[in-house]
Amino acid sequence: MADITQVNDQISIEREGDVALVCINFPPVNATGIGVRQGLCDAIAQLNSEGSAKAIGIYAAGRTFVAGADITEFGKPPLSPSLPDTLNVIEASDIPVICVLHGTTLGGGLELALSAHARIALEGTRIGLPEVLLGLLPGAGGTQRLPRLAGMPFTLDIALSGRQVGAKEALEKGAIDRIASGDPREVALAAAQEVIAGTLPTRRTRDLDAELDQAAIDGTRAMLKKKQAHLVSPHLIVDAVEQSTGDLDAGLKFERDSFMACINTPQRAGLIHAFFGERAVSNIPEAKGPTREIAKIGVIGGGTMGSGIATSCLIAGYAVRLIEVAQDGLDRGMATITKNLEGAVSRGKMSAEARDAALARLQPSLGLDELADVDLVIEAVFEKMEVKKDIFGKLDTICKKGAILASNTSYLDVNEIADCTSRPGDVIGLHFFSPAHVMRLLEIVQGAKTDADVLASGFALAKKLKKVGVLAQVCDGFIGNRILAHYSKTASYLVLDGASPQDVDNALEGFGFAMGPHKVGDLAGLDIGWMTRKRKADTRDPNERYAGDVADKICEEGWFGRKTGRGYYVYDAGAPVPNEAIAGFIDAVRAEKGITPKAFTNEDIVDRYMTAMIVEATRVVEDGTAKRPVDVDMVFLFGYGFPRFRGGPLHYADTIGASELVSRIEAYAKEDPNYWQVPDLLRKMAADGTSFADLNKEA
Ligand code: 3H9
C-alpha cells in the first residue's frame, strides 16, 4: 500500500524509502493557483520539519507539468502565498528538490522548475516563457534564474518571443539538466534516488552568477524601440533580465514590481481576453456533437484563395482534389500551392518530407465530375451568385450522399446558394481569409437549413486546420466584411473632411494596426472596392454620403495600389512614399462638394474610426449575426489585423464605456445623421450601465 498524504486537493506527498514525491494534480493544466501554491509551501515545510526524506521529487499528474500561473486569478486581489514566495521556499529547502517536466512547462511552471535544485525533462517536453503574449513578464524568477542557468541571449529570446523550446534545445542551453523517458512519477523517483546516491548533482540557481551580455541587451532594446514601441511588457523584460547579474532578491523584487505594473495595464486585460476568446468561440453547442468524417476535400478554383485553401488542407494532412475549368488555370493553381508549401518549408513550418507527402496527396483535375468521391467540397470561385448557383446545382448531382458542400463566399447569401440544391442541409459557408494558408480566421456561416452535424464538422475542420472558427449567420458580409464595409467609410470621410490618407494611416498605426486602411487598400488592390462601388451604385441609399470619390479618381488613373506600383502610395524601390497626385484629387473633390477642410488630431481620427467599427459591431451582435461580442472580437484579431493587445473592437469598447460612446455618436450625428446612428443595444447598455463583457457572460 503506497504511503500517500493528501496536503490539499491539489498536492499530495508520497513517501518511498528516503524519497518524498510531491505530486501536483490540478487539471486541466496544473496551473499554479492558490491551492497549488499553498500546497507546495506546506509540503516543503512539512518534509523539511520532519527531516526524514533525503530528496524530494516534484512531478505532475495528467497531460502536462505546470503550464503556468492560473490566468483566471489575474486582475483579482492577490492571494498569499504568491508564486515568487512559494518558489523561494522550494529553493531554500534543505532537502534537495528535483522537478520532472513533461508536456508544456510554461511560464510559472518553468519558473517552478528553475527554483528546484535540478531539472529533468521527459522526451517531448516543451518549455517556454509565454507571459509576454499575455502582456506580462515572467513574474516568479524567470528573468532572474534563467539567465543564471542558460544565459541572457536565450532568456531574452524565449521571454520576448514566447516561443516553446524542445527538450533538446533546453538541455543544450542549460535550462534543464537531463532528458529522460518514461512515466513522470517513475522518473522522479529514480532521479531522487540518484540525488541521494550522488550521481545526479544538485545546486541552487541563486548561487550561480548571470553573465552580463551588454550587446544582447542593447541590440534587443534597439529592436523593441523600433518594432514594439507601443507595448509595455517587452521593455520591462529586458530591464529585468539586465538586473539578473546582481543580487537575486533585488532582481526578484524588480521583476515582481514590473509584473504587478503589467498586471494593471489594459494591454494585459486585452491579451488575456484574446487568450480566452480564442477558446470561447468554439465552446458553444453548435461546435459540439456528432460530426461527419472528412478525409478527402475538393477545392474548386485555383486562384489565390482556392490555392491557399488547398494548401491549408494539405498542411493539415487531408487529401485534396483541386478543380479548375481550364488547364492553364489548373497549372497556375498547382504552381501556387507548390510555392506556398515551399514557403512553409523555408520558414521552418514544415519538413521537406512533409511537403513531398502533401504534394503526393494533391490531385489536379479539370471539371466538377471528379468530385464524386470527396467528403467536403469548398467552392472558391468568382463572387457572382449566378456562377455559384450553377456550380452548386451541378455538385448536387455529382457529389456523394452526405458530402458537405461549402462556399467560400465572403458576402453572398448562403441560403440562396443552398436552395439551388436538393440538400440544403449539407450546405454551409466556410469563409477563409487571404492568404488562406496563413490567416487563422475561418467564419463558419450557418445557413437556415444547415444540418447540425455539418455545422459541427465546420468547427472540427477549423481545429484540424489550426484555425479559429467563428460562427456567423447569413447577411451581406457576415461578421467581418459587414463591419468593415461600414467603418471603412469613416477613413474616406476623414480624408474628404480634412485629413490626408497618411494622417489616417499614421494615427491608426499608432493605435496598433500593422497598416493603416489606405496601405491595406493598396495591398488588397483598389480595383476591388471600385468594382463593388460600381456594382452597388444602383442600390445605394440616396441619403448616404458617398465615400468613394477620391478612390474612384485614383482607379480611373489605372492606379490600383501595389500591383500597379501606384495607389495612395508610390511603390518604387525602397519604402513606399505618399503619392503626391492624390492631394490634387482630394482638393478637387472638396472644391466640387464645397467642403472646407478641418484639422483632425490623431485622437480624433482613432475615435471616429473605432466608434464606427463599434457601432456596426454592436448591430452585428444585436441582430444575432454574431452570437456574442467575443465572437466579433476574435474575427477582428484573427482576420483583420486588429491589435491583439486591445482585445478586439468590443473589448476595446468596454474600455470607453457605452455612455461615452453614445455621446460621441450623437455628437458626430450632428454632421451626418444618416451615417452616425446609435444602435438600440448600445443605448440600452448605457442606460443599464452594462458592458459587452456582461453580454459575453450571459450568452
Ligand atoms: C504566468 O505563468 C505568470 C508567471 O510568470 C508569474 C506569476 C506570478 N491558467 O489551450 P487549451 C485552460 S502567466 C488557467 O485548450 P491545449 C484553458 O483555458 C501564464 N487556465 O489546451 C482551457 O480551459 P477550457 C503562462 C488555463 O492542450 C484548458 O486549460 N502560461 C491556463 O491546446 C485547456 O487549454 C501560459 O500562458 C492557465 N495558465 O494547450 C500558458 N492554461 O478547457 C497558457 C490553459 O475551459 N496555456 N488553461 O477552455 C497554453 O498555452 C495552452 O493552454 C497549453 C495547452 C499549451 C498549456
Map out the domains of the chain as residue ranges.
3-263, 285-474, 481-625+657-698
Cis peptide bond upstream of 517, omega within 30: no
Atom 28 of ligand 1: nearest residue by CA position: 28
| Rg, Å, the chain Cα set | 28
Atom 5 of ligand 1: nearest residue by CA position: 138
Q: Which residues contact 183 (CB under 8 A, 6 or more apart)?
A: none
State which ligand 1 atom lies nearest to the alpha carbon of 109: 2
Largest CA distance in the chain: 92
State which ligand 1 atom lies nearest to the alpha carbon of 142: 5
Tell me the pTM: 0.93
> What spacing in Å lies between the alpha carbon of 65 and ligand 1's midpoint?
12
Q: Is the CB of 128 under 6 A from ligand 1?
A: no
Q: Contact, 44 vs 14, CB < 8 A?
A: no
Q: Identify which of 617, 626, 681 has the alpha carbon closest to the alpha carbon of residue 473.
A: 626
Average pLDDT, consecutive stretches of 10 residues, N- to C-terminus, the chain (699 residues): 91 97 98 98 98 97 97 91 98 98 98 98 98 98 98 98 98 98 98 97 97 97 93 97 97 97 95 97 96 98 96 98 96 97 93 96 96 97 93 98 97 96 98 95 98 98 98 96 96 97 97 94 90 88 93 96 95 90 96 96 98 98 98 98 97 98 98 97 98 93
State which ligand 1 atom lies nearest to the alpha carbon of 129: 25
Phi, psi of 129 (to 5 degrees): -120, 85
Positive or negative, the Cα torsion across 273, 274, 276, 281?
positive
Q: Is the CB of 417 under 6 A from ligand 1?
A: no
Q: Is the CB of 41 under 6 A from ligand 1?
A: no
> What spacing in Å lies between the alpha carbon of 111 and ligand 1's midpoint?
15
> What spacing in Å lies between the alpha carbon of 128 and ligand 1's midpoint?
12
Exposure b/e, 221-260, CB count within 10 A at least 16 = b:
beebeeeeeebbbbbbbbbbbbbbbeebeebbebbbebbe
Phi, psi of 228 (to 5 degrees): -135, 40
**In the CATH scheme, what is the code of domain 481-625+657-698?**
1.10.1040.50
Which of the residues are catalytic? 111, 131
The class (CATH top level) of 3-263 is: alpha beta
Q: Contact, 64 vs 29, CB < 8 A?
A: yes
State which ligand 1 atom lies nearest to the alpha carbon of 140: 6
CATH homologous superfamily for the domain 285-474: NAD(P)-binding Rossmann-like Domain (3.40.50.720)
Phi, psi of 325 (to 5 degrees): -85, -30
DSSP per-residue letters across 354-409: HHHHHHHTEEEEESGGGGGG-SEEEE---S-HHHHHHHHHHHHHHSPTT-EEEE--
Q: Is the CB of 535 under 6 A from ligand 1?
A: no
285-474 shares the fold of 3-263: no
Helix (H, G, I), strand (E, B) or coil at 488: helix
Q: Which three cell numbers stand for residue 445?
A: 456561416
Q: Is the CB of 69 under 6 A from ligand 1?
A: yes
Per DSSP, 4 falls in state E
> What spacing in Å lies between the alpha carbon of 97 and ligand 1's midpoint?
25
Q: Identify which of 340, 331, 278 has the alpha carbon closest to the alpha carbon of residue 305.
A: 340
Atom 10 of ligand 1: nearest residue by CA position: 279
DSSP per-residue letters across 556-599: HTT--BGGGTBSSEE-SSSS-EE-THHHHHHHHHHHHHTPPP--
Q: Which three cell numbers stand for residue 117?
A: 535544485
> What spacing in Å lies between the alpha carbon of 72 and ligand 1's midpoint?
9
Q: Is the CB of 140 under 6 A from ligand 1?
A: yes
> What spacing in Å lies between the alpha carbon of 163 and ligand 1's midpoint?
14
Q: What is the amino acid identity at position 583?
A: A
Atom 6 of ligand 1: nearest residue by CA position: 139
pLDDT for res 1: 64
